[in-house]
């Protein structure tokens, strides 16, 4: 679902951020423009995203609160609030919340194409293709 655009009473265009649900939590697109997209991602305790890669984008993840276990290529790291990591384009990666509180992070995507269909899944706990 794309951001919804509405006209207020003074005829200014305003974007309303739309939150999308996934089996692991939610994401909200905060802003996007040519070559970038910024999302707020929330991962429920004990859940994880698919092991995946993207052909057309890289990602920067900044932890706002909670704990993130990140697999990126052959390495695995644990991040806490105010820590970040970089996921290069065409690199297998996974984000997991091993903690007991909700993981909240900001994701900054950069690339020539930022559509949700640029996901190659290698493993998925929720049987998505």
User: What does the alpha-carbon distance between residue 110 and residue 67 come to, in Å, rounded to a whole number?
Assistant: 24
pLDDT at residue 15, rounded to an integer: 61
Tokens describing residue 87: 């996921």
pLDDT at residue 11, rounded to an integer: 53
pTM to 2 decimals?
0.85
CATH topology for 19-123?
Answer: Jelly Rolls (2.60.120)
User: What does the alpha-carbon distance between residue 110 and residue 91 come to, in Å, rounded to a whole number?
Assistant: 14
Tokens describing residue 30: 């905060």
The CA-atom distances, in angstroms, between 97 and each of 8, 87, 91 are 39, 17, 20
Extents of the domains making up the chain: 19-123
Which residue carries 């007991």 as its tokens? 100
pLDDT along the chain (129 residues), means of 10: 51 70 97 96 98 98 98 98 98 98 98 95 91
pLDDT at residue 17, rounded to an integer: 85
Tokens describing residue 59: 């990602």
């Amino acid at each position: 679902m794309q951001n919804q655009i509405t006209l207020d009473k003074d005829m200014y265009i305003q974007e309303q951020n739309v939150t999308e649900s996934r089996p692991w939590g939610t994401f909200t697109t905060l802003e996007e423009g040519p070559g970038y997209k910024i999302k707020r991602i929330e991962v429920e305790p004990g859940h994880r995203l698919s092991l995946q890669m993207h052909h057309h984008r890289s990602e920067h993840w900044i932890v706002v609160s909670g704990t993130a276990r990140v697999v990126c290529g052959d390495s695995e790291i644990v991040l806490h609030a105010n820590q970040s990591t970089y996921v290069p384009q065409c690199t297998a990666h996974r984000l997991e919340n091993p903690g007991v509180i909700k993981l909240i992070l900001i994701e900054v995507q950069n690339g020539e194409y930022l559509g949700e269909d640029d996901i190659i899944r290698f493993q998925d706990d929720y049987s998505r293709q």
